[in-house]
Chains A and B, each alone.
Chain A
Amino acid sequence: QSALTQPASVSGSPGQSITISCTGTSSDVGSYNLVSWYQQHPGKAPKLMIYEDSKRPSGISNRFSGSKSVNTASLTISGLQAEDEADYYCCSYAGSTTWVFGGGTKLTVL
Chain B
Amino acid sequence: QVQLVESGGGVVQPGRSLRLSCTASGFTFSDYGMHWVRQAPGKGLEWVAVISYDGNYKYYADSVKGRFTISRDNSMNTLYLQMDSLSAEDTAVYYCAKEDTNSSFSFDYWGQGTLVTVSS
Contacts and interface: CB of A to CB of B under 8 A. Distances in A.
A101 B112 CA distance: 19
Given A91-B47, A98-B59, A45 B112 contact: yes
Nearest to A6: B44
A1 B62 CA distance: 8
**Chain B interface bracket (under 10, 10 to 19, 20 to 34, 35 or more):** 20 to 34
Interface in B67-120: 95, 97, 100, 102-103, 105-108, 110-113
Interface string B12-54: 0000000000000000000000010100000011110010000
Interface stretch (A9-17, A50-58, A69-77, A78-86): A50-58
Contacts of B63: 1
Nearest 5 CB-CB pairs, A to B?
A36-B106, A45-B110, A97-B59, A51-B106, A104-B44
21 contacts: A1-B61, A1-B62, A1-B63, A34-B105, A36-B103, A45-B110, A46-B45, A46-B97, A46-B110, A48-B108, A51-B108, A52-B103, A52-B105, A57-B108, A89-B44, A93-B105, A96-B59, A97-B59, A99-B50, A99-B105, A101-B37
